[in-house]
Amino acid sequence: MSTIVEKFRQYRKPGYYEKYDYHWAMTIDLDRCTGCEACMVACQAENNIPIVGEEQYAMNREIQWIRIERYWEGEYPNIKMNFMPMLCQQCDDAPCETACPVFATYHNQDGLNTQIYNRCIGTRTCAVYCPYEVRYFNWFTYTWDEPLEQQLNPDVSVREKGIMEKCTFCIQRIRIAKDLAKDDDRRRVRDGEVIPACVQSCPTEALIFGNSNDPEAKVTKMMNNHRGYKVLEELNTTPSIVYLTKAHS
């Protein structure tokens, strides 16, 4: 136990992730996002997210690793709608990680906030601690009406009742890209080799993903855009996702 706690303290020190090859990050350009929700369905397809059904949905038990939040501004006729894609911010100082009594959620060396399903005992504490409300709980073992289960992605575990789950930045795709790089005798994957499902589908190219430890990566450059900001930054969660605020003509 003491070693776990020691390691835990170590990786929460600032600058810890810069020592490693990767620090996965994303930028979301709100000036491009149209709220079309292609990302949501792409994520559902890639990550075996269950169809919870009308009854469960009515009890707010839907599971959406990425969702679109809607914010109205003004009143008719001078009214504006703002869309904001919201997903796990992969915080470097994630409140959910400190909360888990069994270390089911932890930070890996790629800067990812990771959920170990086998370790999770379903206390749901992490969901309470998360200020972004992006952690979802499996209230039941959901099933797929035959033969919809044939679509399930074999690279992603299907979760059971009592498990918390959330966006993984499509860790299975990261894994595959790393394996391919290793086969090629490359130390690092190239920029653009890993594309999470949401980023790949986005028809306006609002989402950009990459390794922010690579100064040449597209995502690193976008993160330095003057429109960039982090959501609820004042909570010191140090998110890995940078949003680019809407521009005006």
Partner 1 sequence: MSKISRRDLLQYIGAGGIGAVGGVLYGEGVQRKVELLIPQVIPPEDYSPGVATWYNTVCNQCSAGCGITVRIREGKAKKIEGNPVHPISQGRTCARGQAGLNALYNPDRIRTPMQNVGQTGAGRFVEISWDEALTTVGSRISRLKIEGKANSVRLLSGQVRGHLDELFAQFMDLLGSEHYQQYDFTYPGTIRAANRISFGVEQLPYYDIKNADFLLSFGADYLGTWLSPVHHSLAYGHLRQGRAGQRGKTVQIEPRMSLSGASADEWIPARPGTEGLLALGIANAIVGAGRYLGSDRDQWSVALEAYSPSVVSGKTDVSEDIIVRIAKEFSDNKSSLAIAGGAAAAGTNAVATVVAVNALNYLVGNLNQPGGVIFNSNSAFSTMPSSNQASFQEMLDLVDAMESGEVEVLLVNDTNPVFALPDHVGFRRAMEKVALVVALSTFHDETTQMADLILPTSTYLESWGDDAPDPGVGFPVASISQPVIAKLYDAIPVGDIVLSMARQIGGELPVSMHWSSMEEFIKDRWREEYVSRASDGEDQDFESFWRAALEAGVWGQPGAIDSDPSVPSSASIIASIADPESKFAGNESDYAFVLHPYLTATFLDGRGANLPWLQEMPDPMTSVVYGSWAELNPVTADEMGIREGDILDIESPAGSIRVPALIFPAIRPGVVAIPIGQGHAEYGRYAKDRGVNPINIVAPLMDDQTGDLAWAATRVKVKATGERLHIIKTGGVSRTLGRQILGPSNDHS
Q: Which residues would be at the binding site for partner 1 (CB under 8 A)?
A: 29-32, 34-38, 40-42, 44-46, 51-52, 54, 57-58, 60, 62, 64, 67-77, 79-84, 145-154, 197, 200-206, 227, 229, 231-232, 243-249
Nearer residue to partner 1 within complex by CB, 2 or 60:
60
Nearer residue to partner 1 within complex by CB, 81 or 116:
81
**Minimal distance, residue 181 CB to partner 1, in Å:** 17
**Minimal distance, residue 61 CB to partner 1, in Å:** 11
- Amino acid, single-letter form, for residue 201: S
**Minimal distance, residue 36 CB to partner 1, in Å:** 6
Nearer residue to partner 1 within complex by CB, 9 or 226:
226
**Minimal distance, residue 194 CB to partner 1, in Å:** 14
Nearer residue to partner 1 within complex by CB, 86 or 189:
86
Nearer residue to partner 1 within complex by CB, 36 or 158:
36
**Minimal distance, residue 42 CB to partner 1, in Å:** 5
